[in-house]
Amino acid sequence: MALHLDLVTARLFVAVVEEEGIARAAERENIAPSAVSKRISELEQRLGVALLRRHHRGVETTPAGAAFLRRARALLREAEHLERELREHALGEQGHIRLYTNESALVGLLPGVLRRFMAANAQVRIDLVEAMSEEVVRAVEENLADIGIYTGVAPTDGLVVRPCYRDSLAIVVPPGHPLAARASASLAELLEHDMVGPDRRSSLGVLVARGAADLGMTPRIRVRADGFDATCLLVQQGFGAGLVAAPFGSTFAIPIGLVAVPLREPWARREHWVCVRDIEQLSSVAMRLLGELAPASGPAGRTHAVPA
């Protein structure tokens, strides 16, 4: 028997599961609880299997219900994707991509990639958002972004992940600083001086904290900065040495009179990753951009967290 599933029923079922009860789901969807209950009951009758287990605290899915929930969510995502594409065509656009990226890739990777991509896809609109790597991954997981670029060890279970870009780290200091004349410097040498520290939540903040702990040293952080531009400005004002992505050193730090010294550590060479929720759910223009970002990584990608 064919199952005729409409989007309203799918949405109501998802709401019941997420709200753990029919009454709360009905309130969320602005519909009578009796109508929700009737929809779910009729769905179970057509399928010939119970999808929900009712108890005094609310409801929970049966094994069949859990399987149905995954498919219902996928159906709703696809409907949302289709609606967005049709709306964009109605507005005369040939596509819309929501791209989240960390600051390093924004400076070191994306200017060249987006210039080439937009030259060949002039009618595509890209909403570009800068965020910390952990926030980038979460945005893709929650369907706020079509494509995300991050570095470090962020949780990526269930996402398709491909390597896309490598950069290195540089110490930025004013001229005359003890490290300014060095060809390179280690983390231990950096930690001997006052620092403008990275945000604790950032992938760079995690690397510095981990490296300092391995050395048995405590960073002499006078102030923390959210972003490489703020780091460079605070270094310029004499708050200490800073640590930035090497491309940012050449594009921002050196023009304002700072010196960029390569950080000499194995982990200073960083892999960046591009992630998406589901390759098959990407629009054609998003697929083209993904190909520009990760051209040599193969079609399938990987669906597990990257190693440390």
- Tens-level pLDDT at each residue, the chain (308 residues): 455 678 898 899 999 999 988 888 899 999 998 998 898 898 888 888 989 888 877 888 989 989 989 888 888 887 887 777 677 666 545 678 999 999 999 999 999 999 999 999 888 889 999 999 999 999 999 889 999 999 986 667 789 999 999 999 999 999 999 999 999 999 999 999 999 999 888 888 888 999 999 999 999 999 999 889 999 999 999 999 999 999 988 888 999 999 999 999 999 999 999 999 988 888 888 999 999 998 744 433 333 232 22
In the 8-state DSSP scheme, what is residue 13?
H
Instruction: Copy the structure tokens of residue 58.
Output: 């609310």
Mean pLDDT of the chain: 87
CA 14 to the chain's CA centroid: 24
pLDDT tens digit sequence for 252-286: 899 999 999 999 999 999 999 999 998 888 888 89
Q: Where are the alpha helices (DSSP H) in the chain?
A: 7-19, 22-29, 33-47, 63-90, 103-108, 110-120, 133-141, 187-190, 203-215, 228-236, 246-248, 284-293
Instruction: Copy the structure tokens of residue 289.
Output: 């951009």
> How far, in Å, are 18, 187, 218, 305 from residue 192 at the CA level?
51, 9, 9, 34
Count CB neighbours of 230 within 10 A: 15
Which long-range contacts does 152-156 make (Cβ < 8 Å, 24+ apart)?
152/203, 152/206, 152/207, 152/270, 153/203, 153/206, 153/305, 153/306, 153/307, 153/308, 154/203, 154/305, 154/306, 155/305, 156/273, 156/275, 156/304, 156/305, 156/306
Residues written for the chain: 308
Question: CA–CA separation, 98 vs 143, rounded Å?
Answer: 9
Instruction: Copy the structure tokens of residue 97.
Output: 């991509």
In this structure, which amino acid lies at residue 209?
Answer: A
Instruction: Copy the structure tokens of residue 278.
Output: 């589901």
Predicted confidence at residue 56, as pLDDT, reads: 78
Residue appearing with tokens 């231990």: 188
Q: Which domains does the chain have, with CATH numbers?
A: 7-75 (1.10.10.10), 96-165+270-293 (3.40.190.10), 167-269 (3.40.190.10)
Residue appearing with tokens 């703020």: 230
Predicted confidence at residue 278, as pLDDT, reads: 87
pLDDT tens digit sequence for 298-308: 433 333 232 22
Q: Which residues are CB-neighbours of 64 under 8 A, at least 6 positions away?
A: 47, 49, 50, 51
Predicted confidence at residue 2, as pLDDT, reads: 52
Q: Which residues are CB-neighbours of 25 under 8 A, at least 6 positions away?
A: 12, 15, 16, 18, 19, 36
β-strand partners of 261? 171
Predicted confidence at residue 89, as pLDDT, reads: 63
Predicted confidence at residue 91, as pLDDT, reads: 55
Residue appearing with tokens 């290195």: 168
Question: CA–CA separation, 62 vs 272, rounded Å?
Answer: 39
Pairing, β 220-225 against β 194-198: parallel
β-strand partners of 125? 96
